[in-house]
Amino acid sequence: MNRNSTALSIDLATLNLKYPETALVNRVFNCTLLFVIGLCSNSLFAQTAFTTDQKLAALDSATKAAQLSGDNAWMLTSAALVLMMTGPGLALFYGGLVRRKNVLATMMHSFVLMAVVTVLWAIYGYSFAFAQGNPFIGGFQYAFLNGIGTAPNPDYGATVPHETYMIYQLMFAIITPALISGAFAERIKFSAMLLFTCLWSTIVYFPMAHMVWGKGGLLNAFLGGKIPCFDFAGGTVVHITSGVSALVCALYLGKRAGFPREPMKPHNLVISLIGACLLWVGWFGFNAGSAVNASGLATSAFVATHFGAAAATLGWLFGEWAKHGKPSMLGGISGAVAGLVAITPASGFVKPFPALLIGFLAGIVCFFMVTTVKSKFGYDDTLDAFGVHGAGGTLGALLTGVFATYAINSGLGNDSAGKPIPLGWVDGHPAQVLNQAVGIVIAWGLALIGTFIILKIVDAAIGVRASVEQEIEGLDLSMHGEEGYNLDA
């Protein structure tokens, strides 16, 4: 995430000297402002004449307060949008793709994380991810949310309360393990899924978030990382980690009983469509919110996000049309999600047309992954969490190194000669693709090894997989004692 925001501060005196033609405008502005300040602090200023310093100080604090409330409004909205991606977005999207007997269990995989991860986050999660520590993981400074209040933390967002940043980041920590559930849907024990998620958040997610976004993290391009890796909203942190972990889960758990002999059609693509569209809308909070302010950078990310999703929808549909003869609704929404995934790391770094290109490529590559590659290797990634998030996230992270430009993101500032520091290949810095590759390798490695160890632990402790009887009965009844559709009740 980029900290492009600098607290707005206007020195009117200097401005008037440099640009006399703005003096009138400023006088009007000044009068209005003084009127406002006068209203607010009538008793304090009523009888005393202002010195210039006092006026400037009052002006400075008034503009800061105005910016804080603007940015905070957008960031709280964004946090809510990102939560909406998990529930109901992902719950509906995944829920519609499974068989009817597993709809509630699958939705539960998403929904329950809104509770579980929140508690972890409050106790130690935020601290492990964002407190200062070593390059790989944060420390205990923010444990139990110690010291996190309304005062901004300039490292993470100079114009929003630190508490806003904390709750915004929590929503990412919730959706990431929820994405993995697509791989083990229809055959995991609920208790195992809970234990898996707690361990996975601790061993994979918090460290990865720290490396990329935490102060002093190994890959943090803006806050002193050794290997500057651009990941605006979570290509490595969210999508590679969840997608690659999903692959490990699919391989470790093995195929569902009857796969691929028995038909396992999605039971309700209508709710999947609703879920996918909620994901699309929620993703504006995910990506544009990652600017951590309501600036032009947020607009850039918003536009890139939308363009990426649109182009990827078409990419997947065309691929499907060419290969199977018919473009499908499921193909369209899968493409949209693939595009949103791929544009995530790039969103606050690239211009609109590269965003279209990244999206279109993601639509085609992810279509190829879930149709050709998956059937070739024969693993049962139930809802294609790897094919979409792992593949799309990797592609997006790489292409961010190609298309990132200082014309969009000035977070790295200027060099000593006053020229903007180049970001990606298009800026004349091809080595950035290598930096991205290092970030990708670290995310893949952590996800592969971490997830495998966690699954071994959970399996030894309580067993990961539901019994064949439970699976055949359906997880709704066998794990939760209820059914999704009691139409004659």
Partner 1 sequence: MKKIEAIIQPHKLDEVKEALKSGGIDGITISEVRGHGRQKGHKEVYRGMEYDVDLLPKIKLEIIIPDARLDEVTRTIASTARTGKIGDGKIFIYDVLEAIRIRNDDTGEAAL
Site of interaction with partner 1 (CB under 8 A): 260, 263-266, 320, 324, 326, 328, 330-331, 334, 370-372, 374-375, 384
Spatial separation of the C-alpha atoms in residues 376 and 366, rounded to whole Å: 14
Strand partners, 157: 153
Q: Kindly state the smallest distance separating residue 356's Cβ from partner 1, in Å.
A: 24
Minimal CA–CA distance to 287: which of 210, 184, 358, 367? 358
Residue number, 321 or 353, with CB nearest to partner 1: 321
In the block, which residue shows the tokens 């290092």? 438
For 96-133, give the DSSP string. Answer: HHS-GGGHHHHHHHHHHHHHHHHHHIIIIIHHHHHSS-
The rounded distance, in Å, linking the Cα atoms of 108 and 231 is: 29
Compare residues 21 and 488 and give the one whose CB is closer to partner 1.
Answer: 488
Q: Report the nearest approach of partner 1 to the CB of residue 367 (Å).
A: 8
Least distance from partner 1 to the Cβ atom of residue 379, Å: 13
Distance CA(190)–CA(478), nearest Å, equals 10
Two tokens, residue 202: 């601790």
Judged by DSSP in three states, 157 sits in strand
Cβ contact 206:129 at 8 Å: yes
Minimal distance, residue 264 CB to partner 1, in Å? 8
Tell which residue, 431, 405, 417, 278, has the closest CA to residue 352.
405
Nearest residue (CB) to partner 1, 99 versus 210 = 99
The residue (of 99 and 239) whose beta carbon lies closer to partner 1 is 99
Residue 224 has which token pair? 């002193």
User: What is the distance between the alpha carbons of residues 307 and 296, in angstroms, rounded to a whole number?
Assistant: 16
Class of residue 327 by CB neighbours under 10 A (exposed 0-12, middle 13-18, buried 19+): middle
Nearer CB in complex with partner 1: 70/327: 327
Q: Of 361, 356, 354, which Cα lies nearest the Cα of 426?
A: 354
| Residue with smaller CB distance to partner 1, 314 or 426 | 314
Name which of 127, 177, 175, 174 is nearest 153 in CA terms: 127
Q: Rounded to the nearest whole angstrom, what is the least distance from the CB of residue 323 to partner 1 in the complex?
A: 8
Q: What is the spatial distance between Cα 163 and Cα 362, in angstroms, rounded to a whole number?
A: 35
| DSSP one-letter code for 304 | H
Closest distance to partner 1 from the beta carbon of 224 (Å):
42
Token pair for 203? 């061993």
Which C-beta is closer to partner 1: that of 56 or that of 264? 264
Q: Which is nearer to partner 1, 315 or 422 (CB)?
A: 315
Helix (H, G, I), strand (E, B) or coil at 419: coil
Beta-carbon count within 10 A of 154 CB? 13
**Closest CB 355 distance from partner 1, rounded Å:** 25
Q: Which is nearer to partner 1, 334 or 347 (CB)?
A: 334
Residue (29 or 259) nearer to partner 1, CB? 259
Minimum distance from residue 450 beta carbon to partner 1 (Å): 27
Whether omega before 207 lies within 30 degrees of 0, making that bond cis, reads no
Nearest distance from residue 412's CB to partner 1, in Å?
40
Minimum separation from the CB atom of position 97 to partner 1 (A): 8
